[in-house]
Each structure stands twice: as structure tokens, then as C-alpha cells.
Amino acid sequence: MASNNGNGNIPDIVISRLPIYLRALNRLAADGQEITSSHELGQRLGISSAQIRKDLSHFGGFGKQGTGYHISFLQDRLRKVLHVDREWEVALVGIGDLGKAIARYRGFGDRGFHISCLFDSAPEKVGQRVENLLVQPLSELHTTIETRGIRLAMIAVPAEHAQAVAAHLVEAGVRGILNYAPINLSVPSNVHVQYIDPVVGLQRMTYYVEDELI
Amino acid sequence: MASNNGNGNIPDIVISRLPIYLRALNRLAADGQEITSSHELGQRLGISSAQIRKDLSHFGGFGKQGTGYHISFLQDRLRKVLHVDREWEVALVGIGDLGKAIARYRGFGDRGFHISCLFDSAPEKVGQRVENLLVQPLSELHTTIETRGIRLAMIAVPAEHAQAVAAHLVEAGVRGILNYAPINLSVPSNVHVQYIDPVVGLQRMTYYVEDELI
């Protein structure tokens, strides 16, 4: 997808790494650190320092050889590039065990997002409150999302309902979907989907764990 | 970390992409497809086809220019490289909303893992059954994990307890932790940690979504 927001064309693969860099920087900042290096970031993230310098060079200017990166400057820059220097409303569909856990997740704060509406199809869930938000019926999804101009949603419904919910969200104006259901969603090309998949996380470790047992 | 399992030294960043390739291949296979190309995989994954060819070339031999990849052959090869051509037992700690949702997740099947024991510190949860597994008290964690030789665990406890649970798991012999709690874990260098973080997924989309609204 062509992207141009004053940063030229940044490859998708670079964009996909920026949230990882930003999270590492947030942690360093929380520990009171002010300066970091591509070497330190690389060690924390399992990415080569050369790759990190190359990725960050897409935004020009910062990170002179030998002086390291100013963490707060780099945080600001990455937040701007990723458009999370503001707060996005996110709709959450599916208020079962997983949906409730997501609604209560404390990792959203100050990172660009807040869940602002909840939807479920089950009559016994509609009208309940989770984290002070009212669970709305699916019949209100379209109007709520359209009226409030919500562009992001999370799907936490059973796999067999996820595609129908995705279509419903897209029709209402959602352009980015974080999908927790273990199925591949089919969406128009102007809609972005990211998958939360624990198996990918586990498979990223077994290569190393097995090595150590041999 | 040095790795050598007959594949030479595969860079960590390449290893981290293999589960994504494997998931895409599984989906293509489920749709009945037998052959794919670096171009098709690249389009599905937002990764350049050159990068995919380069990544897959680490395993030598397969994927001749112009003929594409045999999906089932490539699935087998990636499963072997990632050591998921067998089934790993996984311990799950924290049986709240999130833990229950993970225990019930249907995406594990046939991808190399099954959750084989559950732990929680709350007396009222201990002794309950979730997906036919008994919730055990934390006091049994060490013995169960050690006796069964379990090397992988998932942490779904509140953030303030996650570090203590991680230390406990590592002491019992766990070498790979999938952490759902929104904190950074500190573990010995021979232990691997992966994070499940919805904010990273959302931040990977806002770059593009915003562009379209401007």
C-alpha cells in the first residue's frame, strides 16, 4: 500500500517493527534511562543493531554514530510516524472471557488507544457493564461506529462468527481490525487486519528451546 | 544466542518470521492450494517477495525460481526447523477471564502445542475444571512442571504477579514464556520470552489508517 505522510515510502516491514522499538523505548524511559543505542535496543529485541540503524534512518536525522539515541525524542518521533501521538477510539466485539480480559487490559494506557464501546450478540450480556462501559447489542454497532467515526476494532468472538462481524465492522467504517479469532479474515484491500495468535509466539521460542535440550 | 541444528546459523529475525510463513502456508493448504510463490506469500503478509526468498533460502534447496514452492513440502520443512513437528506441553498460569479464554482457544490444534496443566493462586479456582483440565494450586507448579519435563508456559496473571510467576516457572525448568501481562519480564539469558501485546497490533495499523483519512 502506498503511504506518504512526509516520511517518504517506508517499507511495510519497517513499519511493523516500529511498535516493537517504541515499546522497548517506553520501558527504558520507565526505568529512568535517557539515552540508548542501536546495540542496546538490538540486544533487547533480538534484532541486529545494523537493522535497527537502517530502520530508524528512514526518518532521517536522529541517531548520530557514537552518540546514541535520545529516548524521549525518538519516542515522540515514532509516536508521530505511527499516528499514536493522539488517542484512537477502539470498538470491541465479543464480550466473553477473552473480550472481558481485553476490556480490562491495563496495557493500553498512554499508548494511543482506548476501548470506547463494547458489543455482543447475547441478550444476557447486553446492558451489562464491563470497566464502566455498557455492552451494546450488535444491532447498534453500525450506528455507533459510524456516528463516532471509529476506525479501529477488535474481534473476540468465536471463530465461526468472526467473518460476519468483520464484514459488519467494515461496512460501518472500520479500517483496522485486530483479530483474536483463529481464522483468516477476508476484507477489502483498504482494510488492515492484524492477528493475535499465541501459537506464533510459542513457535518463535521452540527453535531455541529445543537446541538447548539436544 | 548461538543456534545450530543442521541449518547453520539462522538469524533471529528470520526465525521470528518463519511462524508467520507457516501460518500463511497452513491457510493456503486449508483452501486446497498445493503450490505458492514468494510473490503470493509476500502479498498476503506485506513482506517483499525478495525478503521471503532470502529468508527461505537459509534452508537451501527448495523454491526454484519460476516454479514456486510446494506448500506441503515447505510446511514440513518449517515445522522441522521450528521443532513443531511434534507436540509440546504448555503450562498455563492464571485462570481468570484471559486464562480461561486461552485454555479454550481452538487455534492450538495441530500446530505443535497443547495446554496440559493449569495453575492459579486463588483457592476458589483450584479444583475447578476448564476444558477438562483441573486447576492446580501454585504450590504444585514446581513438581508438576519438573516431573513432566515441561519447557513452555503462558502467563496470564495480573501484571503485579507476573515477575514472581516467571521466576517460579524458570526455577521449575521452563525455558520459553509467552507473557500476556503488560510488563517486561526479567529472566536468565537461557530463557526466551515472547509478548502478546494488542497495542503492538493496533500500532501496526494506524500508520495506514490515518493516511487514508487525510
CB < 8 Å & 24+ apart, contacts of B18-21: B18/A203, B18/A207, B18/B55, B18/B78, B18/B81, B18/B82, B19/A199, B19/A200, B19/A203, B19/A204, B19/B82, B20/A200, B20/B45, B20/B47, B21/B45, B21/B52, B21/B55, B21/B56, B21/B74, B21/B78
CA of B18 vs chain A CAs: smallest distance (Å): 8
Ranges under pLDDT 70 in chain B: 1-8, 60-66, 211-214
In chain A, list all ranges with CATH 3.40.50.720.
Answer: 88-199
Q: Is the dihedral of CA B177, B4, B10, B86 positive or negative?
A: negative
**CB pair distance less than 8 Å for B214 and A5:** yes
Instruction: Tell me the CATH number for domain B12-80.
Output: 1.10.10.10
How far away is chain A from the Cα of B84, in angstroms, using its nearest Cα? 7
Boundaries of CATH 1.10.10.10 in chain A?
Answer: 12-81
pTM: 0.85
Looking at residue B65, its pLDDT comes to: 60
Considering only the top CATH level, what class is A88-199? alpha beta
B11-41 core/surface letters (b: 16 or more CB in 10 A; e: else): ebebbbbbbbbbbbbbebeeeeeeebbbebb
pLDDT tens profile B82-112: 999 999 999 999 999 999 999 998 888 789 9
Contacts of B151 in chain A (CB under 8 A): 209, 213
Compare all CA atoms of chain A with the CA of B12 and give the residue at the minimum distance. Answer: A46
* CATH 1.20.1630.10 holds for A12-81: no
Which chain A residues are within 8 Å of B20, Cβ to Cβ?
Answer: 200
Which residues of chain A carry a pLDDT beneath 50?
A: 1-6
A82 closest CB neighbour out of B20, B184, B206 = B206
Measured in angstroms, the CA of B156 and the nearest CA of chain A are apart by 10
Q: Is A6 left (phi over 0), alpha (psi -120 to 50) or beta?
A: left
B23 with A111: Cβ contact below 8 A: no
User: Which among B173, B170, B194 has a CA at the least distance from the CA of B184?
Assistant: B194
CB contact under 8 A, B208 and A176: yes
Give the residue from chain A lying closest to B204, CA to CA. Answer: A16
> What's the pLDDT score for residue A212?
61
Read off the pLDDT of residues A147-173 as tens digits, 9 standing for 90 and up.
999 999 999 999 899 999 999 999 999
* Strand intervals (E) in chain A: 35-36, 69-70, 88-93, 113-120, 129-130, 133-137, 152-155, 176-179, 192-195
Q: What is the ipTM of this complex?
A: 0.91
